[in-house]
Amino acid sequence: MIPSNYFFILSIILFVLGIIAFFVKRDLIGQLMGIEIMLNAANLAFLALAKASNFPEAQAIVLFVIVVAAAEAAVGLAIILLIFRRKKTIKTEDIRSMKG
Which residues, listed in sequence order, are joined to residue 27 by a DSSP beta bridge? 91
Report the residue number, 8 or 22, with the smaller CB distance to another protein.
22
Residue 47 CB, nearest approach to another protein (Å): 21
How many residues of this chain interact with another protein, rule: CB under 8 A?
A: 12
The pattern of x and - marking residues 77 through 96 that bind another protein according to CB under 8 A reads ---------------xx-xx
The CB density around residue 92, as the number of other CB atoms within 10 Å, is 14
Q: Which of residues 17-46 bind another protein (CB under 8 A)?
A: 19, 22-23, 31
For residue 19, what are the contacts with CB-CB under 8 A and spacing of at least 6?
A: 34, 38
* 8 A C-beta contact, residue 44 and residue 7: yes
Three-state DSSP string of 29-61: HHHHHHHHHHHHHHHHHHHHHHHHCCCCHHHHH
Report the residue number, 13 or 63, with the smaller CB distance to another protein.
13
Residue 77 CB, nearest approach to another protein (Å): 16
Q: Name the site residues for another protein (rule: CB under 8 A).
A: 19, 22-23, 31, 92-93, 95-100
